[in-house]
Copies of this chain bind each other. A is one copy, B any other.
Amino acid sequence: MKKDKITIYDISKKLNISAATVSRALNNNPKISEKTRALVAKTATEMNYKQNRLAQALKNGRTNNVGIIVPYINRSFFSSIIRGIEEELNPNGYHVIICQSHEEEENEIQQLNTLLNTQIDGIFMSVSKTTQTTDHIRKALEENTPIVFFDRKLEFPGVSSVVLDDFKAGFIATEHLINEGCNRIAHLSGDINLEIYRNRFEGYKSALKEYNIAYDKNLVIQTSSKIESGIQAVTQLWELENKPDAIFSAGDYAALGAIQELKNRKIKIPEDVCVVGFSNEPFTKYMELPITSIDQTPQMMGKIAAQVFLEQVKGNQTISIEKKVVLAPELFIRESSNRKLLKFK
C-alpha cells in the first residue's frame, strides 16, 4: 500500500484553518495575509507536503503533460528533437510522453487517440510516411488540443510548425557539388509523397538550373532510407551510358550504401565521384571517409517547437496563433565531397 500522502486537509487540520486557506496560501493568493502564508508554507515543508497533480489536473483541466509522436525514437534525428523539446519544457513544469508510429498510419492514429484520452495539454508530431488521412488530426484540433508539427508537417489553419528549409538544403548541397567541379549529379530522393523530400528534390533541380546544368531524370532515383537502397541505386546508375560524377542523397543511410557500392566498384571518392548525404547522422563523421551531410539542427528544432507551444498555451487561449518556423540547414563538408582537401595531402 502506498504510504499515506499528505494533503492540504492534513495541513488545515494541524493549523486549525480551512483547506481553502491552505490552498490559497500555497498558491500565493494575495488575499491571504503574509503571516498565514508563511506559516502554511513552513508547515507544508515540515510535513513534506506534495501537491497531488492529478487532483489539480482534474480541477483545472491541465495535466502539464505533452505528447510527442515520432516515427522511431531510436533514430538520432528524432531522439535529438525529443531532447530539445524536453530541455525546453521541463523547466516549465511539463513532462513529455513519447510515442512511436513506426511509420504506420494506423499506429499514428491509435497513439494520437490514446494521447488525447490521457489528457495531454498538447501534441508534438512528425507525420508518418504512410499517413494518407487526416481525420485523427482534425479530431485533436476539434478538441482544442494544440498541435505543433516538426520536420514533417501537414497544413491546417492555425497550426504551427517547425521545419527545415529543405529546398535550401537541396540547393546548397547541389551547389557545393557543382563547386567541386561535378556536373552529372545524381539525386537519391526519398519518398516523393513527403513534402520534405519533394523540397530537397526541388532545391536540387533549382541549383542545376541556376548553374545551367541540364536536368536528367535518369539521374534521379527514389530510395528508402536504407543502406541497401543506396547500393541498389548505384547499381542502377552505373548501368547508364553517361555515368554520374556526384551523388546527392536525401538520406545518410542511402548515401552510406552508395559509398559502399562505389568502393566495391573501385570508384574513388571524392576523386571520381563526390557524395553528399542528409541528416548528419552521427556515423557520417566517424567514418574512415567522413561523409559530407546536411545538418538539420534537430535539437534546435525541438527547442523551437517547444517554445512555439509555450507561447501558444501561455497566450490568450481564444486567439489561435499560427507560427511557421523554417530553420536554415547547415552543410558539413567532409572528405566524401571535398576535392580541395586532396591537394593538401
- A residues with a Cβ closer than 8 A to B are 1-3, 50-55, 57-58, 61, 63, 65, 72-74, 76, 79-80, 82-83, 86, 90, 95-100, 114, 116-119, 142-145, 227, 256, 263, 282-283, 286-289, 317-318
Contacts and interface: CB of A to CB of B under 8 A. Distances in A.
A286 B288 contact: no
A51 to B, nearest CB: 7
A335 to B, nearest CB: 11
Contacts of A289: 288
A198 B107 CA distance: 42
A72 B299 CA distance: 13
B54 A54 contact: yes
A90 B145 CA distance: 22
B74 A63 contact: no
Contact of A97 (B65, B76, B80, B83): B65
Given A73-B86, A76-B76, 15 more contacts: A1-B144, A2-B143, A3-B142, A3-B143, A50-B116, A51-B117, A65-B97, A73-B73, A74-B76, A83-B100, A86-B99, A90-B99, A96-B98, A256-B286, A286-B287
Contacts of A318: 1
Contacts of A53: 117-119
